[in-house]
Chain A
Amino acid sequence: MSDYTSDELLTVAAARALRNDDVCFVGIGAPSAACNLARLTHAPDIVLIYESGTLQTRPDVLPLSIGDGELCETALTTVPVVEMFQYWLQGGRISKGFLGGAQIDRFANINTTVIGDYDAPKVRLPGGGGAPEIAGSCGEVLITAKHSTRTFVEAVDFVTSLGHGRGPDDRRAAGLSTAGPVLAVTDLCLLEPDARTRELVVTSLHEGVTRAQVEEATGWPVRFADEVATTPPPSDEELRVLRDLHERTERAHAGN
């Protein structure tokens, strides 16, 4: 097996969570890499949608922003933003959405708005964008994040996007019937909500990662599932396709 980085394993593990019949709302960064890796390996028919309105796009290189021309040129069609959010997202036609965040708490609530007080912020972050409704309207939500105590916090400073609130009934109480976050993929492990409490628990450790490492990088006393699996390392094929994709991307973006 070739050497691989923790970033590569994160992307590969996220890609494996996608199925050939998924319709995905894709975000920039790790989600975009994971979705396109899935499309180029085990899920050739997966439908990728970026919030700029590009439906069923098949970019040759990863976009720098959600509205790059490459996405439009390789899409089945491009729709106005109003239609994107009202028909396709709110209409319930998207099975999986990806979210990341500056802060994620033990119930998978996500903050992309502000660190500190909203009116006197320590750090003003870009904000929610499509995330509040991706969290509510996609069938399931996948989270990707680097694992650190700065990101995985006991309580987020601001709930931009609802995860599981404080427990199993909170999504329904907010008027939602979708599943919400079902998996968080980090560079150390996989976490899934406990079926009873909805708290994120570690269900798989990446090869070579110890429980102590995950405990140290998590801002709450993190729990482990009764049976913790080992995440299979990237296959040669997955690594080759992912590295080709990144290489093509770097070459394309260096050109202008």
Chain B
Amino acid sequence: MADIVSLPDAIAAHVRDGDTVAMEGFTHLIPFAAGHEIIRQGRRGLTLVRMTPDLIYDQLIGAGCASKLVFSWGGNPGVGSLHRLRDAVEHAWPNALEIEEHSHAAMAAAFHAGAAGLPFGTLRGYAGSDLRRVNRNVRSVTCPFTGEELAAVPAHRPDVSIVHAQRADRHGNVLVEGIVGVQKEAVLAAERSVVTVEEVVDDLAAPSPNSVILPSWAVDAVAVAPRGAAPSYAHGYYDRDNAFYQSWDAISRDRETFETWIREHVLEAGTADAGGAST
């Protein structure tokens, strides 16, 4: 059963130095508040897994939390580059960052395999792509039935996965609505899981019998973090702060500007303001 705890307690209990951490949310429901708490608690040496690193990993990388990134598209959606990610890859600042690069289809297959308890994911992918050459974790398998050669990638098995969702009930059952990405797979693939939610309610009020639900017994910790996905968005609660995504380009381009921003908006802000990154 999921424990309903505070965000600092959830991160302290479940995220350790050197862990492999997957924070998912495909443009929608990105767990920013949890990411900021990891920065505040000063975690180091993390292997960060995520399809689209987005601003949340740019912040964790720039703050020195990560030593490796496993990803498939590392940009600021609709805006351009992630400058902290680029600075780490191109100039090893604030530290060297090892990268393991995949395609979206392969990342999805790897999460699926992890959730299914399989050792690897298969896909008809990477045909003719140099990604196959530079990533030793992209290999191939031969179909035992047809002889077709398929791409194979190792299953993602994070030490901890962290996602954000609209709400949980008092038992810790969690409802996810809208663009649901790979959050369910990420949680089921992980050893431990933390879900931050907009609110805890008496009745989950799932809109249909087919709603995406993470049952309480499949989650370790639930923490309330209102606006915990901002500046991304929570469908039905608040919109994406596109202006902040655009302003991040200038904030993140320069190391000092970035450090000032992190100090003012994350380190000194505390959990009460955890979701208020856009101010």
A-side interface residues toward B, CB under 8 Å?
A: 28, 51-54, 63-69, 71-72, 78, 80-82, 84-86, 89-90, 109, 113, 118-119, 121, 123-133, 135-137, 158-162, 165, 170-171, 174-176, 253, 256
Contacts and interface: CB of A to CB of B under 8 A. Distances in A.
Interface stretch (B38-46, B99-107, B162-170, B217-225): B99-107
Contacts of B126: 132-133
A69 B166 CA distance: 14
B85 interface: yes
Contact of B27 (A65, A124, A170): A65
A64 B131 contact: no
A53 B130 CA distance: 26
A159 B123 contact: no
Given A69-B233, A90-B123, A126 B81 contact: yes
A67 B89 contact: no
25 contacts: A28-B78, A51-B104, A65-B78, A65-B240, A67-B28, A78-B179, A80-B212, A81-B26, A81-B180, A86-B108, A90-B124, A121-B89, A126-B82, A129-B52, A129-B72, A130-B103, A130-B104, A131-B103, A133-B103, A165-B128, A170-B128, A174-B128, A175-B148, A176-B128, A256-B240
Contact of A80 (B51, B82, B181): B181
Contact of A132 (B131, B184, B212): B131
Nearest 10 interchain pairs by C-beta:
A67-B27, A162-B128, A126-B75, A65-B77, A129-B73, A64-B78, A174-B128, A85-B105, A133-B105, A174-B127
Nearest to A90: B124
B101 A68 contact: no
B27 A66 contact: yes
Interface of B: 26-28, 51-52, 71-75, 77-79, 81-82, 85-86, 89-90, 101, 103-105, 108-109, 111-112, 123-131, 134, 148-149, 178-182, 184-185, 212, 233, 235, 239-243, 245
B26 to A, nearest CB: 5
A130 B27 contact: no
B129 A162 contact: yes
Contacts of A256: 239-243
B90 A132 contact: no
A253 B180 CA distance: 23
A86 B243 contact: no
B241 A124 contact: no
Nearest to A51: B104
A124 B128 CA distance: 21
A119 B179 CA distance: 34
Contact of A136 (B26, B27, B86, B124): B124
B33 to A, nearest CB: 19
B71 A127 contact: yes
Contacts of A84: 108
A78 B73 contact: no
Contact of A82 (B75, B185, B243): B185
B148 A68 contact: no
Given A67-B26, A113-B130, 19 more contacts: A52-B181, A65-B77, A67-B27, A67-B77, A69-B28, A69-B239, A81-B182, A82-B109, A85-B105, A86-B108, A90-B125, A119-B134, A127-B73, A131-B103, A133-B125, A135-B127, A137-B124, A165-B128, A176-B127
B127 A136 contact: yes
A242 B243 CA distance: 23
Contacts of B241: 256
Contact of B28 (A52, A133, A158): A52
Nearest to B140: A175
B77 A66 contact: yes
A64 B86 CA distance: 22
Contacts of B212: 80
A64 to B, nearest CB: 4
A159 B179 contact: no
Contacts of B51: 81
Given A72-B179, A127-B101, A121 B90 contact: yes
A82 B179 contact: no
A78 B180 contact: yes
Contacts of B85: 124
Residue among B82, B105, B148 facing the most chain A CB atoms (10 A cut-off): B105
A249 B51 CA distance: 27
Given A128-B129, A133-B123, A113 B101 contact: yes
Contacts of A170: 128
Contact of B81 (A68, A72, A125, A128): A125
Contacts of B81: 124-126
Contacts of A136: 124-125, 127-128
Nearest to B244: A256
